[in-house]
Amino acid sequence: MTDSNIYLARGVSSSKKEVHQAIDNIDPGIFPGAFCKVLSDTLTNDPDYCLLMHADGAGTKSSLAYVYWKETGDISVFKGIATDSLVMNLDDLVCVGAIENFVLSNTIGRNKFKIPGEVIKAIIDGYEEAIESLGKFGIQIDMCGGETADVGDLVRTLIVDSTITTRIRKQDIINLDNIEDGDIIIGFASDGKASWDSKYNSGIGSNGLTAARHDCFNAEYIKKYPESFSADIPLEMTYCGNGKIDTPLKGTELTLGQAVLSPTRSYAPLIKELILALGDNIHGIIHCTGGGQTKCLNFGRNMHYIKNNLFPLPPIFKYIQESGNYPLRDLYPVYNMGHRLELFCKEKYADEIIKNAAKMGIAAQIVGYCKTNDQTGNRLTIEHNEEIIDY
């Protein structure tokens, strides 16, 4: 798999090939096939337990939140950035089988000349509101504090990162090496309105935002907010879209700004219910974040993933595709394109899983299947809109 030009020219790698090469020789943990690194429980030395810790953040989405705030005066947009940062960690951990007793810390790096204290307060409030909301659906998260650093010589506006840790029994680990020939792939829609969503979610998540904000919004923001982007990005690829923050997004109740800033939805309440119901009949769960629909290539052993029944493209991804006239081949490695979580199991469990998702307001369907690859390594074939794309 190679990186898409829509990302590389803007200084970002969707495959992060060089990062993977840099960590090739690092200890992969006690379950190398799991979605996140799993460590022995050295805190208690309990042989039956292991430790998980994950760090991630909202990425460049916070830069667009800054522009949105400046344009609209709506400081609550930063609450969504806190949700993004939290969920990008939480949902990676639930892919390993963790469903309880999460501990969260956060790190905020800001340019104090641009980001006042009331923005920091909105972010902290956002964390607390997200934790309270998920708690109502059975996901317990305790916040232990964090750090706000004034690093204006490094950060142009704001960056919001989080770290989450938990303990889990070794026997409960979901190991993606267990994916096998004949398994189906169930996708869970990224857009729509889950039971814990306050309004329609565009589904964009927190990946591809460097490309999305420049492809969606027009050049007036270059002069108005030069602090919202890097001067190293070629000018012809900087805010080169046609939209504005308040442009309505066709097919939704959202403006374009609201759609691109839709808080990343957590699937944790749903996955907790499915794990409790199905146990080790779940062979794997993948959070389709960095790498989008090609994320699966990093997991499993000599598998050929065939995705031949994907969801229709949500409006935000249609808009991005049309804005840049991009081929689907370039978009699948960058965006989730309609489902941000996928589960691997035998087909007999599909109806139960899809019905449970529907009860929580999340559309789910069989999006594909797995078979043993006839060559070494993994392979992905996407069949969509009369195209067949191999990675």
Helix or strand or coil: residue 60? coil
Q: Hey, what are 389's tokens?
A: 């794309």
Q: What is the distance between the alpha carbons of residues 316 and 321, in angstroms, rounded to a whole number?
A: 9
Of 131, 136, 70, 142, the residue nearest 101 (C-alpha) = 142
Is pLDDT of 200 > 90? Answer: yes
- Parallel, antiparallel, or unpaired for β 284-287 and 339-345? antiparallel
Query: 22 pLDDT exceeds 80?
Result: no
- Residue 224: pLDDT band with limits 50, 70, 90: very high
pLDDT band at residue 15 using 50, 70 and 90 as cut-offs: low
What are 317's two structure tokens?
Answer: 């991804």
pLDDT score at 21: 61
pLDDT at 125: 97
Ordered structural domains, the chain, with CATH? 5-390 (3.90.650.10)
Residue of 135, 75, 132, 142 whose CA lies nearest to 106:
142
pLDDT score recorded for residue 1: 43
Largest CA distance in the chain: 59
pLDDT at 157 over 70: yes
pLDDT of 374 reads 84
Segment (H or E) for 135:
helix 117-135
The rounded percent of the chain whose pLDDT value lies above 90 is: 90
pLDDT at 383 > cutoff 50: yes
Reading the block at residue 76, the tokens are 């609550």
Q: What is the pLDDT of residues 29-50, one digit of tens each?
A: 999 999 999 999 999 999 999 9
Strand 303-307, strand 379-384: pairing:
parallel
Averaged pLDDT of the chain? 94
Asked if the model's pLDDT at residue 59 lies above 90, the reply is no
Q: Sign of the CA dihedral 388, 7, 315, 131?
A: positive
pLDDT in tens, 83-133: 999 999 999 999 999 999 999 999 999 999 999 999 999 999 999 999 999
Report the distance separating Cα 108 and Cα 76, nearest Å. Answer: 16
Mind giving me the DSSP string for 71-106?
HH--TTHHHHHHHHHHHHHHHHHHTTT--S-EEEEE
pLDDT at 5: 61
pLDDT score for 10: 55
Single pTM value for the model: 0.93
Separation between Cα atoms, residue 172 and residue 184, nearest integer Å: 21
Q: 372 burial class (0-12, 13-18, 19+ CB within 10 angstroms)?
A: exposed
